């Protein structure tokens, strides 16, 4: 399964997050410690970030991260206070197309997902699309379950003027669980979503086990940053997400809030 990373805090170069850590996303792409399926994440790479004005940008490629000198060059130049990244391990039958690469973006939202909907094309492909408004439906450019989950999240985000990334993410997994129950399938959804000012991350599964997810907030050494990742980036100050749990934090305070989710179905 894919490897994810998310960051919110003081401005840092992308290189510090993607390459320089002891067990960085770069290293995870070819030497993962907790990959449950597959051997390497060789099917693409992506990173999203915000500039000083809060505008989101994305870089995506269909080659392995270790073969992408352009991303390494970019990472030595771009710095941001909010970043999400991703190394792809494609699901069975998924094409190596740029439209299937994450992060996905809509407005100010950036999104990465690790997990799968079982038998997606035969189970929730059509029900998810039927749940979308016309404008959200047309956001979908590829065929992955990840992008359909993102479209569903955008639908939840736009459905209420008071939506936060936390409330939209919670509503999304609730809707997914209801659909999975109705159409007799299972799914796992480790998700990081941000609007540049806050990050919500979740480790969640229905009728299966979710992939690993961790977060780090070192109040003494690095009090001005929080990182979420599929695998620990070092051997210190990392906390594992519990099953069915969410983490939410905002740029203003960087105070993490952990929520355990009830069973939705």
Kindly list the catalytic residues. 2
From the number of C-beta atoms within 10 Å of its C-beta (0-12, 13-18, 19+), residue 48 rates as: buried
Tell me how far apart the alpha carbons of residues 180 and 118 are, in angstroms, rounded to a whole number. 9
* CB within 8 Å of 21: residues ≥ 6 apart: 27, 233, 234
Q: Sheet containing 187-194: give its strands across.
A: 104-106, 109-114, 187-194, 198-206, 245-250, 257-260
Spell out the alpha helix ranges (H) of the chain. Answer: 14-18, 25-30, 69-75, 125-130, 134-137, 145-158, 165-182
Tell me how far apart the alpha carbons of residues 188 and 116 are, in angstroms, rounded to a whole number. 5
Instruction: Pick the closest to residue 72 from 59, 81, 62 (CA basis).
Output: 59
Peptide bond into 214 cis (omega under 30): no
């Amino acid at each position: 399964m894919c490897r994810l990373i998310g960051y919110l805090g003081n401005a840092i170069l992308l290189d510090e997050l993607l390459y320089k850590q002891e067990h960085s996303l770069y290293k995870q792409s070819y030497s993962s410690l907790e990959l449950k399926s597959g051997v390497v994440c060789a099917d693409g790479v992506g990173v999203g970030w915000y500039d000083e004005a809060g505008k989101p940008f994305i870089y995506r490629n269909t080659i392995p991260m270790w073969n992408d000198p352009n991303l390494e060059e970019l990472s030595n130049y771009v710095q941001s206070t909010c970043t999400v990244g991703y190394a792809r391990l494609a699901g069975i039958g998924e094409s190596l197309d740029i439209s299937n690469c994450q992060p996905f973006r809509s407005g100010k939202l950036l999104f990465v997902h690790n997990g799968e909907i079982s038998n997606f094309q035969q189970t929730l492909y059509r029900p998810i699309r039927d749940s979308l408004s016309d404008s959200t439906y047309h956001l979908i450019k590829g065929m992955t379950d990840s992008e359909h989950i993102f479209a569903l999240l955008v639908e939840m985000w736009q459905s209420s003027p008071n939506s936060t990334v936390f409330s939209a993410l919670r509503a999304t997994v609730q809707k997914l669980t209801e659909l999975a129950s109705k159409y007799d399938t299972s799914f796992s959804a480790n998700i990081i979503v941000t609007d540049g000012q806050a990050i919500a991350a979740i480790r969640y599964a229905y009728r299966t086990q979710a992939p690993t997810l961790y977060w780090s907030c070192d109040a003494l050494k690095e009090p001005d940053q929080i990182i979420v990742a599929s695998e620990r980036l070092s051997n210190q100050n990392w906390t594992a997400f519990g099953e069915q749990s969410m983490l939410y934090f905002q740029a203003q305070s960087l105070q993490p809030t952990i929520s355990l989710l009830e069973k939705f179905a």
